Amino acid sequence: MRSCNPRSVHELAITESVLSQSLAEARKQGATRIRRIKLAIGEGMSIVPDCVQFYFDSIKKGTLAEQAKLEVETVPLRIRCKKCRANVEDMIPTCGCNAGVDIVSGQELNIDYIEIDKPPARRSGFRPKGSKTQEGGQESKCKRQESE
Ligand SMILES: [Zn+2]
């Protein structure tokens, strides 16, 4: 395994922020643990995914994400001319419009989704006497944050 340059504070800060956001979300949903975190990182962010992975494995210990898998998807950098919308390679427009460029993608840093485990829904308790409408509408429906 390639190890991380100790100077990659950039990746460390990013990894810490990803972990804390995921933990906050997991807590909000009452998770017992995080199984997977899917991250999308734009190519233009100059983030080394291996580095994020490395830091993640070291800072996740002792948290809800201790056994979580981090999946990193790299989003390709796509740049276009503002005027004719021609694709621009390596930041150098070749179309000659001289109109500047739009960065279409490649600058994202998103948590796509997290997969969590929840405690089994409690069957007892929480049932006021005389109430007949306890079937639907309870908050115990398992909401999983998953989007693929
Ligand atoms: Zn152009």
- Please, what's the largest Cα pairwise distance for the chain? 76
pLDDT digits (tens, 9 = 90+) for 30-40: 999 999 999 99
Q: What whole-number distance in Å separates Cα of residue 70 and Cα of residue 72?
A: 6
Structure-model confidence comparison of residues 55 and 138, the more confident one: 55
| Distance from Cα 89 to the centre of ligand 1, integer Å | 12
> In the prediction, which pLDDT does 121 show?
76
User: How far does residue 93's CA lie from ligand 1's centre (Å)?
Assistant: 7
Tell me what the pLDDT averaged over the chain comes to: 85
> Top-level CATH class of 9-77+106-117?
alpha beta
For 110, the token pair is: 């998103």
* Residue 100 CA to ligand 1 centre (angstroms): 8
Reported as a single tens digit per residue, the pLDDT across 88-143 is 987 788 999 999 999 999 999 999 999 999 988 766 555 555 555 444 444 444 44
Ligand 1 geometric centre to CA of 101 (Å): 8
- Which region among 65-69, 77-81, 143-147 has the lowest average model confidence (pLDDT)? 143-147
Residues 6+ apart with CB under 8 A from 113: 38, 145, 146, 147, 148
